[in-house]
Amino acid sequence: MEIDLMVLVPLVAILGTIYYYITKDNKYFHDKPIPSMATEPLFGSTRRLMTKKTSFHDFIIEIYNKYPLVKVFGMVDTLQPVFVVRDPELIKRIGVKDFEHFVNHRPVFGNNDNPHNTALFGKTLIALNDQKWRDMRATLSPAFTGSKMRQMFELIVECSANMAKHYKEEIRMNGVSSREHEMKDVFTRYANDVIATCAFGIKVDSLKNADNDFYVNGKKMMAFNRPIVMLKLIGFRVVPKLMNWFGLDLFDREQGDYFTEIIRDTLKTREAHGIVRPDMVNLLMQARKGTIKREQRETEDREEVKGFATVEESDVGQTGKGLQMTELEMVAQCLIFFLAGFDTVSTCLTFLAYELTVNKDAQDKLYEEIRATSKSLGGSSLTYDALQNMQYMDMVVSEALRMWSPAPATDRLCVRDYVVDDGDRLKFTIDKGTAIFIPIAGLHHDPQYYPNPNKFDPERFSEQNREKINPNAYLPFGIGPRNCIGSRFALMEVKAIIYYMLQEFSFEPTPNTQIPLRLAKGFAGMRSEKGVFVEFRPRKKDNEVSM
């Protein structure tokens, strides 16, 4: 059968163009004086990750360890050249000192170049670029100071105490001595209730009402392993301009509309009735009107005891001109708080609960500190200051964030050519448009910085030992002006629920507890392979008599 040349020639030309497009940067690093990982069409250097042969956390550690003697090496992430920076001092220069060259994150999930685009993710703080980001960060920055977190603390305590009470009553009502639970499910429901009350201004109880609309829609929004979401992720990586032209969003429209309606209703109700509540909605309303007051940070920083992992707001986040947020921009910021609270915080708590379960000495020592704190409060509810003064609690949380950082890596986009010169033998240019990977999980598991890195050892963060830690090799909340704006909020949320749960229960392993724990393979989110199962065993209180 003859082949029609009129069909064949255009077909070959199209295939050749596609092949050129997906391989044109595969040799990008060949003229750079740094090692680089092998590449292949479409996958770049990430086949093992994209085909679910490894987890993102383990992938970052694997590539970090591939070149142990270099400061930086190259790889191709699907189609984009990426410089993986291993050296803490170079990370500090890129993330802090020379921030102007690396202002933005790379647009993995689309951006907001089109002002008429109603896609929510592109309007979130994490996705905004350049001056838009500066103005939004300056607008939001005053809402995340220690004093503002203090105002919201009662809401978090209420959720924490309710959760401990729920599981205590559940055991009593069922007439059993203990109960096994899967930790990701437990803490996702807790984080859901906290973010509902603190960021959206509504009260839900995801323990008693397991299938409430807020929780169900949140679960759907966070289901990043669904085929449609994976196709979107690939689309944003391979043809980002086309995805933005169509106005496609990482979030499904149904969930976006649901959360948008909640915020709109809340705003209307509060403005109509003059309702003031110590939550994020109120702070955003103040920020939107430009009435939120910026505190004297010097005084606050001097007086407040902060967790080791807490990141500081840079001058960049305080010197933007601020902006008048639209309603859609307010919704977008609430959504990004939701994503962080729903997934990142619940992930941290899941792995922290695992480590406390399998490291009984650490759990017992933490419980003694909790008892002492409770006694000093005379039975009253936990206070913000009391929590901040719990040193061992901070050590335990800091170590869990080292071992199981919910963000195994972070990135920056080079916005103008940057010359790397270490004053020795290394000199090359990071070209505008290429990306930087900061391999957080690799740094956190490097024995050069953390001896015996796979051992859970809170003593690394004791008063005597924390001075030995290289601050540029401990990055659970990122580094520089684009660090996590909500580190204070996340830490008090994590510590509060651990306080109330360990006060009532000991965490015990069960036959379903996977030891050692292994991570689920694939790119979407850090989660355990088989779940993290823990038994909640009620503690005998001092005034209880053993039978």
Three-state secondary structure string covering 237-297 = HHCHHHHHHCCCCCCCHHHHHHHHHHHHHHHHHHHHHCCCCCCHHHHHHHHHHCCCCCCCH
Cα 535 from Cα 513, distance rounded (Å)? 9
Q: What is the pLDDT of residue 116?
A: 46
Over its C-alpha atoms, the chain yields an Rg (Å, rounded) of 24
More confident residue, 84 or 332: 84
Could you tell me where the DSSP H helices lie in 67-145? Answer: 88-92, 130-140
pLDDT score for 294 = 57
Q: What is the mean pLDDT of residues 78-106?
A: 94
How many Å apart are CA 113 and CA 118, to the nearest integer? 11
Q: What is the pLDDT of residue 169?
A: 93
**pLDDT for 545:** 38
Owner of token pair 């990586």: 237
Most confident of 131-140, 156-165, 414-423, 536-545: 156-165
| Calpha distance 155→135 (Å, rounded) | 29
Q: Which residue ranges are tagged as binding site for heme?
A: 484
State the average pLDDT over residues 276-303: 67
Residue 106 has pLDDT above 90, yes or no: no
**Annotated binding site: which residue ranges?**
484
- The pTM (predicted TM-score) of the whole model is 0.90
pLDDT in tens, 378-407: 989 999 999 999 999 999 999 999 999 999
Strands 533-538, 179-182: pairing is antiparallel
Least confident of 18-32, 125-139, 196-210: 18-32
Measure the CA–CA gap between 359 and 366, rounded to whole angstroms: 11
| Nearest alpha-carbon partner for 58 in 545, 525, 530, 521 | 521
Q: Which residues pair with 84 in a beta bridge?
A: 73, 437
1 pLDDT higher than 50: no
CA separation, residue 229 to residues 44, 220, 341, 406 (Å): 20, 11, 20, 20
Residue pLDDT, tens place only, 149-177: 888 899 999 999 999 999 999 998 888 87
- Pick the closest to residue 281 from 351, 241, 338 (CA basis): 338
The answer on pLDDT for 119 being more than 80 is no
* CATH of the domain spanning 5-538, picked from 3.40.1390.10, 1.10.150.530, 1.10.630.10, 3.40.50.720: 1.10.630.10
pLDDT at 249: 63
pLDDT-derived band at 321, boundaries 50, 70, 90: low
pLDDT above 70: percentage of residues in the chain: 84
Confidence of residue 221 (pLDDT cuts 50, 70, 90): confident
Task: Output the pLDDT for position 256.
Answer: 78
> How many other C-beta atoms can be found within 10 angstroms of the C-beta atom of residue 4?
9
Question: Is residue 257 predicted with pLDDT exceeding 80?
Answer: yes
> Does residue 292 surpass a pLDDT of 90?
no
